[in-house]
Structure 1
Amino acid sequence: MSLSKEDLELLEYVYDQADGDLDESVDVWSTFERERWGAIARRLQNSDLIKLASIADDYKITAFGLNFVSELRAKRRNGPARMNALRLALIHWLYDHYLEDTHPESTEDFHTSGHDLHMGRPFEDRELLQAISYVLTARLVDGVQLDQSRHLFRPFLTPKGVDCAESEKTVSDFLNPPPSTGPTFNVRIDGSQNVVVGTQSGDFTQNSTSGIDPEVLARITHFANVARQGISSYGLEEDQQVEVEQIAQDLEAEATGETPDRGRLRRLTDRLVEAIAPAAGSALGGMVMALGEQASSAIAG
């Protein structure tokens, strides 16, 4: 179901005022102007998210509406999913300009582009700057960088960025396609999603002049990929999840880049192991930690 920012604003108002009570009547029109919001209320009613409670046009939240908003807010709290959505939205925004053969003046323009919402909430500038840093490091985007700003001026997609946009994949999946072979174990922790844990693909290839053994790069890439897949199962706080996601993405990008740097790989691998350490007491966390320690030993030589 696709709802606009205004749809969600009205729906969440009824949700908050009802406070979980399906029988609570909510006076909408003392807060919202009927002429502007009447059509929105009818659209929500037709979608079975709210229903009329009285001839005075009070509304009640429906069971479907209650579940919808509860799930929506849970998704908003998923930091890694939000950052993944932002990176892809940034790529799609620049792809629109690519098709029109134009360039935005600055990545700051993203905030007014129509691409800047996730689950009805706008992205913050600090989140945008993190996403810009990532896609820039991954060589998906380029532009002019000035010392006094972390934004890009006259940003544009590189050929690799165009391929990413046209792949219809997430940025992460485009940069780090899952290995096609290799032994795995399906692990289910506390009813969470299945996470694949095992050894890296035996047919991994790395075309680089870094002098680093391709098998080492394969081990590091596999560790970063598995660490990212298991984020929702570690039991970490939201800020810790975001940290694991960011480091894992950086590590994958470095390991699969054209000229991976051994020192940076070592530092990122150690940082990712440290970030997952709070989950080491769980079965999944312990296995991912073991993969990390193997990767760390491999890159240390």
Structure 2
Amino acid sequence: MGAGKEVRTFVRWIRKYRGELSGDSADCGEFASLFHLSSEDLERLVSEAEQQGLISVSKTWSVPIYGEGFRITIRAQMTGRGLAAARDWDHADQRWVEAYAPRVLVWVHEQGLRNGQYLLYEDFAAAENLTLEEATKALDYASEWISKSHGKRERAYSNAWIRTDLVGMRNSGHEYRILGLDSDGEAELYKWEKLWGNVSKRRLAAQDKVLRWAHQNGSDATPLDPSGFFSSPLHYFYGKPLEPEEVSEAISSLEEYQLLILSSRETKICIKLTEKGVDCAESGKTVRKFMTKNEGREKVTYNIHGPVHGGQFGDHNSQVNNFGIDRQAILEFVGQVRQLSGQLGLDEPIEADLVEEVHELEQASTEQTPDRGRIRSALDKICNVLTSAPNGVMGQLLLGAGQALISRELG
């Protein structure tokens, strides 16, 4: 089990004040005083970090010169595992703040600050539902100029996106006021405004971001709920959020490219990267460049093994029958819609219509001689209902799968 925020803060404090190479241990009482922890809370925190192998602990008992009873001093020292974990946390934080920095620029611009006006870091944290520590990191990073050239990231510390000024100190750290965008920030924002309306770039960016998010957060054992993507800074496209429809389309495309698979878990549609998807994520290439490079090889594979249908639920290669209809893919879609219909937020009469059309699609696809027109009619009606589903993310995922079936199986 991963370390919680409190444990991470504690372990990082030990590293910061004692250094990675220092053999000295830290007095945990200083940490408790700094963060106003009770002795019970400190004991719990030390115990959690020790159980996870992040620190080694020693305790000493002493009698105060003036007073009664014993005083317990808890000292902690970083283990090798703790040092490795702290470095991993730093790398994850860096990825987070780099992804979030463009949102900072847009947020500051949206406030419409004028001369003499200012905002505190706490304002940004509250608006974006961040901790003060996260807000501080994001704003500090955005105060540096970030440029991309030929895929490489460079920093020029003499320039800045936003102007900040130190106005005071608090127990939680520095307090800043934000003075607004500087000339570099204004110029960068002007370029982004042109990109926000570029449908093609948004589509390609959505594919890259979903793939990157799945790679950073997924595991072989547990598929991911794609709704979690919207709580990640990766769901921003140059500081503006991607729409659920764009994310749904990206997931359908990645499945069609065989970079991920869809499955169901606890009445939710989940995604998991395939080996090919992991290769793409770790190649450092965009999805488009990765697929272009592998296009020739993939075509040969398809010709040998037969059609591999993307946009389906489940992990299998379907076989098309003599009537040109992939019954297995349709029946899997039927099962998914039937299982998740109660989670779409539909009114009862509309949900009843959806269930009826799903039954009609099932009957039509299992006939000895399938009627393509009957199947198409049922699919069209199901997709029409899904278009207006209140649960936008789930509805769009099912809609994308249904539209992919129509395109593949019925032309």
Q: TM-score range by the shorter chain?
A: 0.3 to 0.5
TM-score (normalised: structure 1)? 0.46
Higher strand residue share = 2
TM-score (normalised: structure 2)? 0.35
Between structure 1 and structure 2, the one with the greater Rg is 2
